[in-house]
């Protein structure tokens, strides 16, 4: 089976039971002038993930392997947004790309460079983790998926939460360092270290070229 050079050690996976998970590569978070930048964040810290992730997506699709995308956002009436989250953020307010993190708005959707293709699954989630209040577990179970290659943003929030949720459910996770991003370089560094610490407490960490080599074989 394919084996990737990773931390804390080699990551071996069966392509037949592995899915690529692309977390929240949304316009609200990544576009200049959008919600993320309006908070004072440097969106270029996230946008550096686009090129390697696009290359990975192309290779993954060419190999006929499953891709699952996620989007964080809420119903237009905000009935699925917890009061604490609503009180602390700008959820539902008018932003540069429509109402912020509201499903159906331009900013809520995935950036043009990484749009889902064909019948790829898109999971809309109201929280940080991709398993909470979503159909993701059912989707993975029906497809007999046991391993996840995890990409997307942000490393310390939605990526970390999802990896922890997946770990508790028995999935093996490979997080690709160049395909996940944080607005804060220190959070990026520490977030990745935490995943692979203590013998891989939450999963493995590698760079996408090492995985691309295995896919090419």
Neighbouring residues of 24: CB distance < 8 A, sequence distance ≥ 6: 70, 71, 72, 152, 153, 154, 158
Neighbouring residues of 83: CB distance < 8 A, sequence distance ≥ 6: none
36 in Cβ contact with 117 (< 8 Å): no
- Alpha carbons within 13 A on the beta-carbon side of 179: 26
The residue annotated as part of the active site, out of 7, 24, 28, 179, is: 24
The residue annotated as part of the active site, out of 81, 128, 158, 173, is: 158
179 assigned to active site: no
Q: What is the CA radius of gyration of the chain?
A: 16
24 assigned to active site: yes
Specify the pairing of strand 18-23 against strand 67-72: parallel
- Alpha carbons within 13 A on the beta-carbon side of 203: 32
158 assigned to active site: yes
Helix residue ranges, H only, 26-119: 27-30, 35-38, 44-47, 50-62, 83-88
The residue annotated as part of the active site, out of 125, 128, 173, 179, is: 125
What separation in angstroms does the CA of 58 have from each of 16, 97, 197, 209? 17, 27, 30, 13
Spatial separation of the C-alpha atoms in residues 163 and 129, rounded to whole Å: 8
Active site residues: 24, 125, 158
């Amino acid at each position: 089976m394919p084996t990737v050079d990773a931390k804390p050690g080699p990551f071996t996976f069966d392509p037949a039971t592995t899915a690529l998970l692309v977390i929240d590569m949304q316009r609200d978070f990544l576009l200049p002038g959008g919600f993320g930048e309006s908070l004072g964040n440097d969106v270029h810290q996230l946008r550096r993930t686009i090129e390697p992730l696009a290359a990975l997506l192309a290779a993954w699709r060419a190999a006929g392997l499953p891709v699952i995308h996620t989007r964080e956002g809420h119903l237009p009436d905000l009935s699925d947004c917890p009061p604490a989250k609503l009180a602390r953020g700008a959820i539902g307010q008018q932003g540069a790309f429509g109402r912020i993190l509201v499903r159906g708005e331009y900013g809520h959707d995935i950036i043009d460079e990484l749009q889902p293709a064909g019948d790829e699954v898109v999971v809309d989630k109201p929280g940080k983790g991709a398993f909470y209040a979503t159909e993701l577990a059912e989707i993975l179970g029906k497809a007999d998926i046991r391993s996840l290659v995890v990409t997307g943003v942000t490393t310390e929030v939605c990526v970390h939460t999802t990896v922890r949720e997946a770990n508790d459910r028995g999935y093996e996770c490979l997080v690709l360092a160049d395909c996940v991003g944080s607005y804060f370089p220190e959070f990026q560094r520490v977030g990745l270290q935490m995943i692979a610490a203590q013998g891989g407490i939450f999963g493995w960490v590698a760079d996408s070229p090492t995985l691309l080599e295995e896919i090419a074989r």
